[in-house]
Structure 1
Amino acid sequence: MTEFILIFRRDIEEFTQDYKESLATAVPGIGKKWFSWMGKLHEEGRMVGTYQRISKAGRTVMPDSTVQEKPYTEIKDAFSGFLIIRAHDFDEALSIAKDCPNLLQNGSVEVRKFIDHNDQVS
């Protein structure tokens, strides 16, 4: 099996607003869906590591060594977390991503294959 990274993105302003407005109702419900989805992946032996959430705060070091105060400057969607999985091929990794609860939160899931050092970069 090949390893893939699933990168979760959300509109940071929408996510922050949704979270504040629905902390008591929506968050526990979507949390159950996340745990169920990840539990299934774990049972199938597909999870390489645990899900990692990423803070919206951060800094970016630029080529001239200056530091920008935000990790994203021109994009609307923020990188909110990732999960490394195993799948037989790209199509199977995409199928797994299509069941991700982040899609129910108006987010996206970017799927990328880890490159073996013997593979061509593409």
Structure 2
Amino acid sequence: MQDYMLIYQGGDPEWHLNTSPEEMQAIMGEWDKWMAALSEKGKLVSGGNPLHYSGKRIDGKRAVTDIAAAEYKELVSGYSIIKASSIDEATELAMSCPVLFSPDCSVEVREIMNME
């Protein structure tokens, strides 16, 4: 088994403000079910947390810039780490991720390299 990072990209930066309590409860319920299913299969390593949409970027010259609003569709909005026997299995597990219910969101599946 290998670890894979599911990288969630995109979404509405003000989703928590634009979502009713009922909608929020339904969304979080879907995430809870999905995480529980992964955990029951022994596939969940870390559920991760959503990331705040604001941030800073530092380049190789040590220049610091704010992350621009125009980049939100490509911005990493959260992550999880799962175990899978192959990238194909990890991709299949990611296909049912609740983030895909949100418009303009995607999941990137990346193998975590073992450096030992």
Q: So what's the TM-score if we normalise by structure 1?
A: 0.82
Counterpart of 1:90?
Answer: 87
Of 35, 46, 62, which aligns to 1:38? Answer: 35
Which letter maps to 1:66?
Answer: A
SS in 1 for 2:44: coil
CA distance in 2, matches of 1:116, 1:21: 40
Instruction: Check if 1:99 corresponds to 2:103.
Output: no
Counterpart of 2:71?
Answer: 75
Identity of aligned residues (%): 26
CA distance in 1, matches of 2:57, 2:13: 22
Count of aligned residue pairs for this structure pair:
114
- Contiguous gaps of at least 5 residues in structure 2: none
CA deviation after TM superposition for structure 1 residue 51, in Å? 2.0
Counterpart of 1:114?
Answer: 112
Regions of 4+ moved over 3 Å: none
SS in 2 for 1:95: helix
Counterpart of 2:9?
Answer: 9
CA distance in 2, matches of 1:35, 1:105: 16
The root-mean-square deviation of aligned C-alpha atoms, in Å, is 1.9
In 2 relative to 1, CA 55–94 (structure 1 residues): closer, same or farther, beyond 3 Å?
A: same
CA deviation after TM superposition for structure 1 residue 15, in Å? 4.6
Q: So what's the TM-score if we normalise by structure 2?
A: 0.86
Answer whether contact 2:13 2:72 (CA < 8 A) is retained: no
- Contiguous gaps of at least 5 residues in structure 1: none
